[in-house]
Amino acid sequence: MTGKREEILRVIIDIYKKHRRNISSDEISNATKFGRGIIRRELAILKCMGLIESCPGPKGGYKPVLRIFDNSCDVE
């Protein structure tokens, strides 16, 4: 996994751990300082890899797939 992809996944997991809600791509972009195009591309790849899922709508966004999130809780 690339460094950018790993950092984006870590941000999604960390925010989800704290707030238990979907995370917007803008929020991910702000946390990582990566541009929107990079974020969109990497999110699509992470989704294809089965590591995150997307939820459409006004309260939509991205969240870790539960099996990945559960395994990451022990990793710091």
pLDDT tens digits for range 46-57: 999 999 999 999
Q: What is the pLDDT of residue 50?
A: 93
Does this model's pTM top 0.85? My answer is: no
Give the single-character DSSP code of 12: H
Report whether pLDDT(42) > 60: yes
**What sign for the dihedral angle of Cα 15, 46, 65, 70?**
negative
Phi, psi of 74 (to 5 degrees): -90, -10
Q: What is the pLDDT of residue 67?
A: 65
Question: Can you name the CATH fold of 3-69?
Answer: Arc Repressor Mutant, subunit A (1.10.10)
Give me the residue spans of the domains in the chain: 3-69
pLDDT tens digits for range 17-36: 999 999 999 999 999 999 99
Query: Which residue is listed with tokens 């969109």?
Result: 40
